Amino acid sequence: MSWQTLMAFCTVILLVACGQGSADKATKIPPPIDSSAMTGRHALTEKFIDTAADDALMLAVIDDMSKRLGNSTTEYATIMTWNKARRSVFVAWQLDAEVNNGGFNQFYYNPSGKFYPLAPESLKYVGASLLADLTRRANKTYEQDLENNKSHKDDSLNEYDKAYRQLTKKESLEKILVDFVRTHKSAFVEW
């Protein structure tokens, strides 16, 4: 699921929640939601990176990168201009968000799938070697399925979904990414 989709979903949930309660409240139009309050809009300074809570830090990093993406037709080219640290965190985050939401099938067949060749190297670079190896094997299965004209509805990737969930119980990718950002601050502060 893309960051923009997640933000739209949160906005809908908040709008629905604002309409709950008495019949009188349900007929009123809720006030506009300040979407910047729901995002990680923080200046990525070394101080912020050092002091932010882990979840706030990742939200701010992903939000900062997301606002620099441009449109979907230029997204890949834009990301390829980023330094290796930013690119690796973004690709690892995309993979993690998609696999946790709908498995490797979702990652490959959603727009995030264009990053699949970069995923193993990105994971290894940020320090998630076990996930990098698993993703490399999943990529190989995906490519074989493409060569054999297998449908993405096939169950050939299910074993990788299960293995991914097991690995992330032992090796939290979110924690790895937070630690990576904190130890590579200048790569995220300097654009």
pTM for the full model? Answer: 0.76
3-state secondary structure (DSSP) of residue 48: helix
Give the distance from CA 98 to its chain's centroid.
7
pLDDT at 7 over 50: no
Distance separating alpha carbons of residues 170 and 165, to the nearest angstrom: 9
User: What DSSP assignment string belongs to 93-110?
Assistant: HHHHHHHHHHHHHHHHHS
3-state secondary structure (DSSP) of residue 68: coil
More confident residue, 31 or 45: 45
Q: How confident is the model at residue 153 (pLDDT cuts 50, 70, 90)?
A: low
By the 8 A CB rule, do 188 and 61 touch? yes
Give the distance from CA 175 to its chain's centroid.
14
Question: Domains in the chain, start-ordered, CATH in brackets?
Answer: 1-38 (no CATH), 43-189 (1.20.1420.60)
